[in-house]
């Protein structure tokens, strides 16, 4: 009947009973249920607490040593919960545990997405150098695995990071590499957006000829896709000679 608080009270009683009579299975089930209930109601601080307790119990009993699927699922939820409540450092610690598990399981193909998600937390902690290094690491790993979409996903925010810090030349290098990737994966819309970014950088540098060239290429793609044509035309009309 979706009465969250009475349900949690009952589970709390079951949890206390399980601990009192030393029934690990009942304790684990209660912790899992309380974590899930709080998660479903967006009560992320409580959800994180119960997921941590549940995971610690499973690890102490060795019940996930042979099957890490449950551990990975809990860590993913924990990372999201900590991110939602602004505990960036805890989210990073959890994501590092995920990466270690993927490495042990020879699932390197899953690592770039985790690294890309971690970068946002480093940016919020204002650790921009670490964020940039992690984007590059995610890009290199994705390229080595021929996961070109993941590689592009790593380059886009890296270019934006450099651009926001007015590191124009570094940003331009990233966007040029990104264009090549987007051409490989036939991401036409992505190419249009990248030409826009390049045009804006050259415009900021007052290199109007190169800005015009980038915006013109963006306009051609916009005409093919029938989107943002007015935006690019306006950019070109108002561009100084």
Q: DSSP code of 21?
A: T
- The predicted-structure confidence for 90-143, as pLDDT tens digits, reads as follows 999 999 999 999 999 999 999 999 999 999 899 899 998 899 999 999 999 999
Confidence band of 46 (pLDDT split at 50, 70, 90) = very high
Closest by CA position to 202, among listed 182, 216, 188: 216
CA atoms within 13 A on the CB side of 132: 15
Q: What is the pTM of this model?
A: 0.83
pLDDT mean over 5-30: 92
Q: What pLDDT does residue 2 have?
A: 63
Confidence band of 1 (pLDDT split at 50, 70, 90) = very low
- The predicted-structure confidence for 55-81, as pLDDT tens digits, reads as follows 999 999 887 777 788 999 999 999 999
């Amino acid at each position: 009947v979706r009465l969250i608080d009475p349900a949690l009270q009952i589970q709390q009683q079951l949890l206390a009973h399980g601990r009192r009579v030393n029934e690990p299975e009942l304790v684990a089930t209660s912790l899992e249920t309380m974590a899930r209930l709080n998660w479903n109601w967006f009560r992320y601080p409580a959800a994180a607490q119960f997921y941590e307790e549940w995971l610690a119990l499973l690890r102490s009993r060795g019940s996930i040593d042979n099957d890490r699927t449950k551990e990975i699922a809990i860590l993913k939820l924990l990372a999201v919960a900590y991110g939602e409540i602004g505990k960036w450092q805890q989210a990073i610690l959890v994501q590092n545990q995920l990466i270690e598990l993927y490495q042990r399981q020879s699932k390197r193909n899953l690592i770039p997405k985790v690294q890309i998600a971690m970068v946002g937390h480093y940016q919020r902690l204002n650790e921009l150098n670490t964020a940039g290094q992690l984007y590059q690491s995610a890009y290199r790993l994705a390229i080595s695995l021929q996961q070109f979409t993941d590689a592009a996903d790593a380059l886009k925010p890296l270019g934006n990071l450099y651009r926001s810090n007015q590191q124009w030349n570094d940003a331009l290098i990233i966007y040029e590499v990104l264009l090549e990737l987007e051409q490989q994966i036939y991401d036409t819309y992505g190419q249009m957006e990248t030409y826009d970014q390049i045009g804006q950088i050259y415009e900021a540098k007052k290199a109007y000829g190169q800005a015009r060239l980038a915006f013109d290429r963006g306009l051609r793609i916009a005409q093919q896709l029938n989107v943002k044509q007015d935006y690019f035309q306006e950019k070109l009309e108002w561009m100084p000679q």
